[in-house]
Amino acid sequence: MDIDAFSAVHSAKWARLHDLAHQRRLSGDEADELLKLYQAASSHLSLIRSVAPEGALSASLSAALAQARTRFTGARSNFMEDLAGFFVVSLPAAFYRLRWMTLWCGVFFCLVGAAYALWIGTSPEALRSLGSNAQLKQYVDEKFIDYYSENPAASFAGAVWTNNAWIGAQAVALGITGFWVPMMLVANAQGVGIAAGVFAATGKLDVFFSYILPHGLMELTAVFIASAAGLKIFWAMVSPGPRRRMQAVADEGRSLITVALGLVLVLFVSGLVEAFVTPSPLPVWAKLLIGALVLAAYWGYTLVLGGRAFRAGSTGDLDSKDAGYRAIAA
């Protein structure tokens, strides 16, 4: 086959295909024309590749066909649209689905922490097991408070963010085991409860809360969210409902990825509060107000945007195409 003669005969059609494929909007007739040209050009490309598979003409026609194919299959939204969809629909819907489990994890944590605080704060024997009077006094008067200001705020925020992200990642990744999340919640509640008990025994419980609550309100809520996500995937495996077990786990696992990405930002905010607000010279009421506003912003975001997205059918999962349920024809 003479490539030059073949190109001369069909070049007008290929140029028209290129123009229609790059045209912003198509009428009904133009869409029909594009489809016919696409089918014809596909046959032409096969013939050309049989003679000169690596030629410039083959590459150019392949590019035109690829662009035309996106018009049939639907071009993906741009980055900003995807970003807006994530923060306005997917993420709040995923948080919303976990709202009750998040609250139950918080209640469990608080009950365990309160039990340890009551035990340490009212039992002299338990208090003595933690250290001497001098050591406990140093912890209350110096170590606990200095922890928030002994390092530069920026580096401290990074360290806090990394540590909390690690805790959240464990809850999310190992939640499917069923035992890791309760064990982690108990361990963290134990640490907080013991510290509260030591401060209560020395009559400085107000100091403890003035340092733990500004950032802890959001930070601990993030831990509860991660715990809820881990338990959600575990429960999908135990009780998949009408779905196949692996299908249920896959559905929850993809939604869980959305939650994990959102927690990166949530923990970043709580880390900033812990590094810049908690040790600051602001009045205690101002620190508590900032912490409460951050927490209120999260729940407002979850309940308002998340509730609206959830009622509209969003779960935080990927759409069917991204999840691999619908293949795009080549």
Higher pLDDT, 38 or 110: 110
For residue 98, what are the contacts with CB-CB under 8 A and spacing of at least 6? 225, 228, 229, 232, 259
Is there a contact between 233 and 130 (Cβ–Cβ < 8 Å)?
Answer: no
Instruction: Look up residue 126 and give its two tokens.
Output: 């338990």
CA 69 to CA 162: how far, in whole Å? 44
Within its chain, how far is the Cα of 222 from the centroid? 11
pLDDT at 54: 60
Asked if pLDDT for residue 76 goes beyond 70, the answer is no
pLDDT at 74: 57
pLDDT at 325: 45
For residue 188, what are the contacts with CB-CB under 8 A and spacing of at least 6? 109, 167, 223
Q: What is the CA radius of gyration of the chain?
A: 29
pLDDT at 330: 37
Instruction: Look up residue 119 and give its two tokens.
Output: 């035990």
The residue written with tokens 């032409």 in the block is: 44
Cβ-in-10-Å burial (0-12, 13-18, 19+) of 68 comes to buried
Task: Provide the 8-state DSSP code for 239.
Answer: -
Q: What is the mean pLDDT of residues 143-156?
A: 77
What is the value of pTM for the model shown?
Answer: 0.71
Q: What is the mean pLDDT of residues 62-80?
A: 68
pLDDT at 320: 47
CA 92 to CA 309: how far, in whole Å? 7
pLDDT band for position 304 (50/70/90)? Answer: very high
Q: What is the mean pLDDT of residues 4-27?
A: 80
Name the nearest CA neighbour of 94 among 254, 271, 282, 325. Answer: 254
pLDDT band for position 328 (50/70/90)? Answer: very low
Asked if pLDDT for residue 317 goes beyond 80, the answer is no
pLDDT at 72: 66
Asked if pLDDT for residue 246 goes beyond 50, the answer is yes
pLDDT band for position 111 (50/70/90)? Answer: very high
pLDDT band for position 329 (50/70/90)? Answer: very low
Please, what sign has the CA dihedral across residues 237, 241, 247, 252? Answer: negative
Q: What is the mean pLDDT of residues 285-307?
A: 94
Is there a contact between 161 and 171 (Cβ–Cβ < 8 Å)?
Answer: no
DSSP per position, 12-28? HHHHHHHHHHH-S---H
pLDDT at 86: 80
Instruction: Report the mean per-residue pLDDT for the chain.
Output: 82
Q: What is the mean pLDDT of residues 302-322?
A: 75
Q: What is the mean pLDDT of residues 45-63?
A: 72
Is there a contact between 184 and 191 (Cβ–Cβ < 8 Å)?
Answer: no
Q: What is the largest CA-CA distance in the chain?
A: 100
CA 157 to CA 162: how far, in whole Å? 9
List alpha helices for the chain, DSSP H: 3-22, 28-51, 56-73, 79-85, 91-97, 99-122, 124-128, 133-138, 144-146, 153-174, 180-201, 205-238, 245-272, 284-300, 307-311, 320-323
